[in-house]
Structure 1
Amino acid sequence: MASPLHTQTNSNTSAMNGTSASAADPKSQLSKKPRLHAPTPPLLITPSDILSEFSHHDPSIARINNGSFGCCPSSVLSAQQHLQLQWLQQPDHFYFNQLQSRILQSRNIIKEMVNADHVDEVSIVDNATTAAAIVLQQIAWGFAEGRFHPGDAAVMLHYAYGAVKKSVEAYVTRAGGYVIEVPLPFPVNSVVEIVQEFREALMRGKQNGRRVRLAVIDHVTSMPSVVIPVKELVRICREEGVDQIFVDAAHGIGCVDVDMKQIGADFYTSNLHKWFFCPPSVAFLYCRRSTESSDLHHPVVSHEYGNGLAIESAWIGTRDYSAQLVVPKVLEFINRFEGGIDGIKKRNHEAVVEMGEMLVKAWGTHLGCPPEMCSSMVMVGLPACLGISSDQDTLKLRTYLRDKFSVEVPIYYRAPKDGEVGPVTGYARISYQVYNKVDDYYKFRDATNQLVHNAFTCASLPN
């Protein structure tokens, strides 16, 4: 007999006990694409509304690091807390009569937002790292079951997220795969440099009769942060016969344009708690309907094993699922902004580029890439006289800025090239989200100027 969870997440959910027809069948509420902008000016959010929505942020901190942990407005947090209380009040009722219909409603919204063909292509998981494990686990099985040959290749960017690189090591390398990292220049001047390096890496992967079984492509690299031309790289993979393409877009939805039909990858994941205003932690994993995707499984095996990835992911045991259920409330919040999510992305991008250019002008440095290759984050060169000479220096300086100046910003170390004179070796990754103010970036500028004035160097900081 099918489990209650599996039964309740079928398309015909209107007969669920204890729910209305509209709640049981989210599609009845989503017959059209989710509205991406507010229909009338009176609904638009005001600056005072934004201050209220993010009043829980520490006002003493220049929080210009949305990229790491994201943000969540008070109205969404309130909705989450209400759901948590509902669960605690009567978990059996919530489990049998509400949980799965609400997850399906969130999946339907995500499906429309990312232009997927079918809701079955969308699963909700904890974060992009979990999604990577799901995809890479399948690749490991390909080697273990003899469908792939020892030495067949996986290609990923050198600037892939650290946890994803570790996952590739744990699943692909250990299973017998040959991993090729695509070296990317930084600072980067154009997409041409990225495309050229990627083509050369694919050629290396196909040497000696090997097959490239998987390409892992970032949509927006984390550190250093650069927007990658994913559509072009996916097209090249198809031309070169790459078996499967996985786009790691931890910074995707709410930060760059996300359209599954245009991108054309087999798998695509993005966190919703970074740039989409969800509480942590929640992400989606898109799996294009195919024979390969039918054998995907959540790495946590539960009673739902074998009922499809979306169903497996919707119940991995007793835990707090509230972050997955507030997507409708998040959409409501987003629709209060002019232009909805597209308007937010555009304004964040323009603002972060403006702030980045203000900073490099103040310090006599440069951005890490052209503005068109930035999203809502940009890499800003720090004064060379700060003496950033290692990854350890970046951590020490970041801590010093936090503790002494109340500035929260991640810093990246770039090793100098041979023959460089007075190179910029340290870059700050600044983010811009709707709660940020110009004063946040002036505070960072002035703190750095004070360090320069005081002849500070990273060598003076204790280990």
Structure 2
Amino acid sequence: MASSLHSNNTQICPNPTALNGGSAADGNSQISKKPRLYADPPPLFIPSDIISEFSHHDPAVARINNGSFGCCPSSVLSAQNQLQLQWLRQPDDFYFNQLQPKIIQSRTIIKDIINADHVDEVSIVDNATTAAAIVLQQIAWGFAEGKFCRGDAAVMLHYAYGAVKKSVEAYVTRAGGYVIEVPLPFPVSSVDGIVKEFRQALRRGKQNGRKVRLAVIDHVTSMPTVVIPVKELVTICREEGVDQVFVDAAHGIGCVDVDMKQIGADFYTSNLHKWFFCPPSVAFLYCKKSTNNSDLHHPVVSHEYGNGLAIESAWIGTRDYSSYLVVPKVLEFINRFEGGIEGIKKRNHEYVVEMGQMLVKAWGTRLGCPPEMCSSMVMVGLPACFGISSDHDALELRTCLRDKFGVEVPIYYRPPKDGEEGGVVTGYARISYQVYNKVEDYYKFRDAINQLVDNAFTCASLPIS
């Protein structure tokens, strides 16, 4: 079981020529090439390097929740610390002579990785929630200034991230927009159900002469996690006359394929601190150049207001910008893995599926979606005997696993559907796989759940907090 996963996390290139182009015969020709800082890349990582890079992680915890907060290797943290010291040593020199060129360097690397047309299309912001505020603020102004009619619609997925839902409420609903949530099935069996529900939601948005001003589409939903067919949904938006499309891909870069030309959205955001190894918090917001985005502004108004979103976002007052500036160092780190970011994504996906299948086999449950619809995360059904019956139960079980077993994993409550009887799986764990993980992390989780089952544990026995 899980024979391809090594406990020491050996993700080593058997043929170093693969990083320099190689040939079809080396078996790596299908891994696409991404930006690299060096003509001659640094040596590939060996297992002890990975252990060293993440030695600051708590060794007593099976950290299978990279999706929530990501991870940052020691070499990048060291580079960040040096930047912070440079700033503090002589802040005027750093601000006037170094800060903006360094931010442009980071934006340029991001532009190349996401296949954008121009660096001006890429702004760096704190996180995907900030990016959502930028886009939704523009929509709110559209209602306030009479460009949109009261009752015009915004469409988003039911499984949109909670903070984004709150942002839609704060900006769109309050301004007079009508918000439609797209119900999605879970567990998910195929993309067909997602596409069908999305089409129907757009058509509801256009009833009675209304227009759909914005569609918010997740690339990878958070809880429950599933990869959404964004290219197909963006195409449907164009067919249905949606004004603007915003893809919230908090888990995008480093986790799934991110190509602006192929996706075709007006706006796309992704955190860099979740799956791209940056320290928190940093994200990018892509704004398609052909989109009328002159009304896009950073929510924090500072001296650069009116000079374009990318410039506004690069200076929002005195603060620590070091997380924006380490992108070149992160790319150097990534390029020490076979196949760079594409190789990391591929292996993480394969490993998380393998671990998910091992767990559901051990517990007699199922995955939350087919393997081709998960990224570096997958939903794993928990034993029905736990009797998870609320979000509170899910949170308390998560706390129990952390405090008593040293396992960090989010738990999702899935309400039973009409007609479902007892014995239904109502709890799912979202497991992640990142380069620092080991097979023992998932065995530890498996054994913790098995111990709870053997002890006849139920959520009803959890303390009421």
TM over 0.5: yes
Alignment-derived partner of residue 335 in structure 1: 335
- Aligned pair in 2 of structure 1 residues 93, 401: CA closer, same or farther (>3 Å)? same
Using the alignment, how far apart are the partners of 2:326 and 2:111 within structure 1?
Answer: 15
Shift of 1:39: 5.6
Gaps of 5+ in 2: 1-32
Alignment-derived partner of residue 221 in structure 2: 221
Q: Secondary structure at the match of 1:284?
A: strand
Shift of 1:291: 5.2
TM-score, structure 1 as length reference: 0.92
Alignment-derived partner of residue 279 in structure 1: 279
Gaps of 5+ in 1: 1-31
Shift of 1:418: 1.8
Alignment-derived partner of residue 456 in structure 2: 455
Q: Letter of the aligned partner of 2:439 in structure 1?
A: V
Alignment-derived partner of residue 142 in structure 2: 142
Alignment-derived partner of residue 233 in structure 1: 233
Using the alignment, how far apart are the partners of 1:251 and 1:36 within structure 2?
Answer: 24
Using the alignment, how far apart are the partners of 1:311 and 1:409 within structure 2?
Answer: 38
Correspondence list, 1:398-409, <5 A: 398-409=398-409
Output one character per residue of 1:328-383: Cα deviation in whole Å (capped at 9) or x when no partner.
00000000000000000000000000000000000000000000000000000000
Asked if the contact 1:87/1:94 (under 8 Å) is kept, the reply is yes
Asked if the contact 2:37/2:328 (under 8 Å) is kept, the reply is no
Using the alignment, how far apart are the partners of 1:321 and 1:395 within structure 2?
Answer: 34
Output one character per residue of 1:395-426: Cα deviation in whole Å (capped at 9) or x when no partner.
10000000000000000000001221311000
Using the alignment, how far apart are the partners of 1:247 and 1:419 within structure 2?
Answer: 35
Asked if the contact 1:38/1:340 (under 8 Å) is kept, the reply is no
Question: Is 1:211 paired with 2:203?
Answer: no
Output one character per residue of 1:288-336: Cα deviation in whole Å (capped at 9) or x when no partner.
0135212200000000000000000000000000000000000000000
Question: How many equivalent residue pairs?
Answer: 431
Shift of 1:267: 0.1
Correspondence list, 1:89-238, <5 A: 89-238=89-238
Asked if the contact 1:37/1:336 (under 8 Å) is kept, the reply is no
Asked if the contact 1:38/1:336 (under 8 Å) is kept, the reply is no
Q: Secondary structure at the match of 2:294?
A: helix
Alignment-derived partner of residue 49 in structure 1: 49
Shift of 1:34: 1.5
Using the alignment, how far apart are the partners of 1:369 and 1:38 within structure 2?
Answer: 41
Shift of 1:38: 9.0
Q: Secondary structure at the match of 1:280?
A: coil
Using the alignment, how far apart are the partners of 1:279 and 1:309 within structure 2?
Answer: 23
Shift of 1:153: 0.2
Using the alignment, how far apart are the partners of 2:37 and 2:409 within structure 1?
Answer: 30
Asked if the contact 2:266/2:291 (under 8 Å) is kept, the reply is no
Asked if the contact 1:38/1:335 (under 8 Å) is kept, the reply is no
Asked if the contact 2:36/2:332 (under 8 Å) is kept, the reply is no
Alignment-derived partner of residue 316 in structure 2: 316
Q: Secondary structure at the match of 1:295?
A: coil
- Aligned pair in 2 of structure 1 residues 236, 37: CA closer, same or farther (>3 Å)? farther
Question: Is 1:437 paired with 2:442?
Answer: no
Using the alignment, how far apart are the partners of 2:378 and 2:277 within structure 1?
Answer: 20
Q: Letter of the aligned partner of 1:352 in structure 2?
A: V
Q: What is the alpha-carbon root mean square deviation over aligned residues?
A: 1.2
Q: Letter of the aligned partner of 1:348 in structure 2?
A: N
- Aligned pair in 2 of structure 1 residues 374, 291: CA closer, same or farther (>3 Å)? closer
Q: Letter of the aligned partner of 1:104 in structure 2?
A: I
Using the alignment, how far apart are the partners of 1:446 and 1:217 within structure 2?
Answer: 37
TM-score, structure 2 as length reference: 0.91
Output one character per residue of 1:260-283: Cα deviation in whole Å (capped at 9) or x when no partner.
000000000000000000000000
Q: Letter of the aligned partner of 1:86 in structure 2?
A: Q
Asked if the contact 1:365/1:382 (under 8 Å) is kept, the reply is yes
Q: Letter of the aligned partner of 1:292 in structure 2?
A: N
Asked if the contact 1:37/1:339 (under 8 Å) is kept, the reply is no
Percent identical residues: 87
Asked if the contact 2:37/2:332 (under 8 Å) is kept, the reply is no
Alignment-derived partner of residue 253 in structure 1: 253
Output one character per residue of 1:59-86: Cα deviation in whole Å (capped at 9) or x when no partner.
0000000000000000000000000000
Using the alignment, how far apart are the partners of 1:189 and 1:368 within structure 2?
Answer: 8
Using the alignment, how far apart are the partners of 1:382 and 1:34 within structure 2?
Answer: 40
Using the alignment, how far apart are the partners of 1:295 and 1:452 within structure 2?
Answer: 56
Correspondence list, 1:287-326, <5 A: 287-290=287-290, 292-326=292-326
Q: Secondary structure at the match of 1:417?
A: coil
Shift of 1:200: 0.4
Shift of 1:35: 2.4
Asked if the contact 1:37/1:341 (under 8 Å) is kept, the reply is no
Using the alignment, how far apart are the partners of 1:291 and 1:215 within structure 2?
Answer: 15
Shift of 1:183: 0.0
Output one character per residue of 1:149-194: Cα deviation in whole Å (capped at 9) or x when no partner.
0000000000000000000000000000000000000000000010
Q: Which stretches of structure 1, 4 residues or longer, exceed 4 Å deviation after superposition?
A: 36-40
